[in-house]
Each structure stands twice: as C-alpha cells, then as structure tokens.
Amino acid sequence: MVSATVLFSLVWQSVGEQSTFASLERDGIRYIQALEPLEIALTNAESVAVRGGSAPREPLALAVADVAKADKELGERLRTEDRWTELRTKVESLPAEGAAAPIIAAYGGVSELLLALMDKVRNTSQLIRDPEVDTYYLEDGAAQELPEGIVAAAQYTDLLLSVVGESPAAQAKVADDVRSAYSGLAGNAKDLSDDIRLAVEGSDGGALGTALLSKLDRFNRSIDDLAPLMSPLSNGTGRIDTAKVVRSRDEMQAAAADLSATLLTQIDSALADRLASLSHRRLLAIGILLAPVLLGLALVVPSLVARRRQDKGAPPRERPTAGRHDPAHPAPAQPVTVPPTPWPTGPVQRPESRPSETAGSEYARWEQFSAPQ
C-alpha cells in the first residue's frame, strides 16, 4: 500500500502538471482564433482605404467585439489585458479614408501591435514549448508564419495600389519597398510550408496530411499569383491592373483564412485528445491506488468479523468478589489450627477401676502409666 501510494502521488502530480499545461495551450488557441478574423478585417479595411474608398466599419467592429470577449474571459490568465487595451484603442482610432501613405503607415502600426499580441499569447500560453512535434510545428505555422504572411501580403498589395496613376518617378521610389514586401511574403510562405510538412511527418501523415496539404497548396498558389503583379514596376511600364491586384489579394485572404481556421482547429483537437488521455491516466492512477487497498481490506475484514463473532458466542466472565469464589478455581484450603491442651496443675485424678476389670489383668498393669485425657 505504501509503494502504491507513492506511485499514485508521482503519477497524479505529473498528470496534473501536463493537464494544466495543455489547458493553458487551449486557452491560447482560443484567443488566437479570435485574433485571426480581426487581422483579416483589418487588412481588408486597409485595402479599401488605400484604394480611396471608405472602409466599412461593421466587420472591423464585430471582430473587435469578439476579441474583447475572449480577452475578458482569458486575458487575466494569459496576461494580455494591457496589450489588448492598447491595440483596441489604436484600431478604433484608425482613419477610414485619406491619402495612401498615411493610411498604410497607420494600419501598419496597428498590424505590428496585433502581431505583438499574438506573440504574447504564444509565450504565456506555452504554445511555443509544446512537447509534441506535430503540434509544435502547426502552432508555429498558424500563430506566427501565417499571420506575418497575411500582413506582408496586405503591405505588398497596398503598395501596388498606392502607386496606381502615379508618375514613373513616384513608382520607382516604392519599387524597392514592393520587392521587399514580396520577399518577406515568400519567406513566410516557405516557412509555413516547412512547418506543415514537418508536422505531417511527425504525425505519420494520415488525416492530418490530407486535410492540410490541399489548403496549403491553395495558399501557395495565391502567393505565386501575387508575384507577377509587380512586373509593371520592374519593367517601368507603370500599368498596374487594379482589378487584378484586388482579385488576387482577395483570393489570398480567403485561402489564408481557410488555412488558418483548419490549422487552429487541428491544434485544438490534438490538445483535447491529449487532455482526454491524461484523464484516463488519472483513472488508471486511482485504480493502482485502490487495488492494494481493496486487497488489504479483503485480508483484514474476514479476520475481524470472525473474531467479533467468536467474542459474541463466548459466555460472559464474572469477576470474583469478596466472600465469593469462582467454582472453576476454588480457593486454596486453609490449615486448621488445633489449640493446645493445657497441662493440668492439680493432683492427677485417676479414674475409678472398672468393676469388670481385676487387679491382675493387663489393663490394670497399664493403668498406672496412663496419662490424663
């Protein structure tokens, strides 16, 4: 029982720590699931504002409300309240329209705050320290590479749209920035592909590979379709097709949102399965503890019951009292003391001779020596 108790305490403590770790990770995934729609809504609003239109506020407001709800529930545990308050203030003060350069700068600053909030969630929720290979790489792709890729794609397409109708000299000034933005986007797409490939290999393929690879291919194709859009800047023609840029950007956004939702759902399912496995280990630990306890009771209880029955069937014993002896154990016999006969002090009175006796008889001869009675 002692060894079983020690084993139980070790298993219970280890399982408890792992359960707490996995539960915190799930909280991080839930928070990031609320941040991803906000990022999509934010980049969509930026694209509309850069093209000279008035950015719709309703999708952005709904996304902000969802993140606010998640932060109210999880912010204290993930320590994100201060960062979210700052990000929310910046989002609500974004301009809905204006010149392209200030719009790009304002939305770019907010996007940096959003990525910083995601990094905070990844760190405090321990997602970056997940012990499982497949979950670790999926998390890295879903919470770092893909969000950074979405921001890089938005910056790339917005720079292209900002120089539509500008002079060749003005377009030449932003050409380097456009190429740099696409280079960052391609790098994020490559790192994301590597993460998913390593995750699939770590999980031995199966349903994970089938579910993700098709969505990853769609996302990579959308990134490849963005590359030719900067050709007018490279060859100096300056004829940027606005409709094609918007269409390609929308396809990239849809592919990224679809891939992000699948990645985060897959991670959450893996963490839920891990918690279920840990619950089974808890039950096993309880069984390990109960087995020797029940065995010990099975050995001890019959003996106690038999003794109790034996005690009930035996006659009650009476304690001996003064003047009363136990028949089974009689008191020892006391010696009888005979008082001594006093020695006579007067003359000895001889008894009279019996009439039937003669002086010559034997009795008469012994009579003279007889002692007083």
**How far is 263 from 255, CA to CA, in rounded Å?**
12
pLDDT for residue 353 is more than 60: no
209 against 165, higher pLDDT = 165
> pLDDT category, 191, cuts 50, 70, 90?
very high
The whole-number average pLDDT for the span 24-36 is 94
Token pair for residue 123? 């760190």
Q: Note the pLDDT tens digit of each residue in 278-324.
A: 777 777 777 776 767 777 777 777 777 777 777 776 555 555 554 45
Per-residue 3-state assignment (H helix, E strand, C coil) for the chain: CHHHHHHHHHHHHHHHHHHHHHHHHHHHHHHHHHHHHHHHHHHHHHHHHHCCCCCCCHHHHHHHHHHHHHHHHHHHHHCCHHHHHHHHHHHHCCCCCCCHHHHHHHHHHHHHHHHHHHHHHHHHCCHHHCCCHHHHHHHHHHHHHHHHHHHHHHHHHHHHHHCCCCCHHHHHHHHHHHHHHHHHHHHHHHHHHHHHHHHHHHCCCCHHHHHHHHHHHHHHHHHHHHHHHHHHHHHCCCCCCHHHHHHHHHHHHHHHHHHHHHHHHHHHHHHHHHHHHHHHHHHHHHHHHHHHHHHHHHHHHHHHHHHHHHHHHCCCCCCCCCCCCCCCCCCCCCCCCCCCCCCCCCCCCCCCCCCCCCCCCHHHHHHCCCCCC
pLDDT in tens, 244-275: 999 999 999 999 999 999 999 999 988 998 88
Q: Bigger pLDDT: 338 or 188?
A: 188
Specify the pLDDT at position 58: 86
C-alpha–C-alpha distance, residues 81 and 83, integer Å:
6
Q: CA 172, 173, 176 angle in degrees (round to 5)?
A: 85
Residue 140's CB: how many other CB atoms inside 10 A? 22
Rounded CA-CA distance 198/192 in Å is 10
Q: Tell me: pLDDT of 331 over 70.
A: no
| Max Cα–Cα distance, the chain, nearest Å | 191
- pLDDT in the model for residue 209: 64
Cβ-contact 192, 145 below 8 angstroms: yes
* Alpha-carbon distances, residue 331 vs 98, 145, 316, 336 (angstroms): 123, 103, 21, 15
Which residues have CB under 8 Å from 323's CB, separation 6+? none
Distance CA 98, CA 53 (A): 9
Token pair recorded at residue 360? 């010559």
Place of tokens 């969802």: 66
pLDDT interval class at 355 (50, 70, 90): very low
Residue 360's pLDDT is 52
Q: What is the pTM of this model?
A: 0.73
Q: Which of 31-35, 155-159, 186-190, 276-280 bottoms out in mean pLDDT, i.e. has the lowest?
A: 276-280
